[in-house]
Amino acid sequence: MARVPKAPVAQLDRVPDYESVGCAFKSRRARSLDAQTGNPQIMQITQMKFRRSRGLRNDADGKTAKDAKVLEHERWMRAALAEAEAAAAEGEVPVGCVVVYEGRIIGRGHNRTEALNDPTAHAEIVAIGAAATALENWRLGGTTVYVTIEPCLMCAGALTLARPDLVVYGARDPKFGCLGSQYDIARDNRFNHELKVVEGVLAAEAGGLLKEFFRSRRVGKRGLSRAPGAQGAVPCFPGSGSEHEIAWDTR
């Protein structure tokens, strides 16, 4: 009886897979000619590969665009953080704000309630006032407002009236915040302008400034209260100032 040569195992394993797509063991050149001449099975495979590669490319483009937007928000938020640091240096609660229009800052500000003895002198109010002056228009269409801490009711209302395209803030204010914490004016459709909001940009850094400010102020009060015969000594009790530190009584 004639001896039948055995095919390599790897080749036998590949036969069904190749036959299922109609390629058998054709060379790359033969398959390319089939694709050019309109072999439907080859055309289908080519289209599938093209759709997959295009999908991967679109996903990559989308991720790149998202990353670029995050970097842009962080860039301007750092400018707002610089304003917050200036407030802290002046003994004010460290909240800062900048208004950006066409790639440049047209308004900036930080808390000045102590310096001016003005309860309305919040960072957002100062910054949007400066921006309105720069644009010679109280409507701030086309601008983005960056503020380190979630705006209070007064500032959220002022922002609604000013009508910027976007408001970006860092850390939430659980005691006074009105863009998601105590209240969310952006979701209240009874107003004639709906704010678009992005939150959480450099939140840890913004919150860290507040925590350090209240910690140092509390330590200063304790030191003053312990000084014997100190003029204007401030009584200090266990836990004094904790409400400010935890709830960030920023205003």
Question: Where in the sequence numbering do the catalytic residues fall?
Answer: 124
Helices 203-226/40-89 angle, 10° precision: 20
Contact 74, 202 (CB under 8 A): yes
**CA separation for the pair 224, 58 (Å, rounded):** 62
Tokens at 74, concatenated: 């962080």
**CA separation for the pair 33, 14 (Å, rounded):** 22
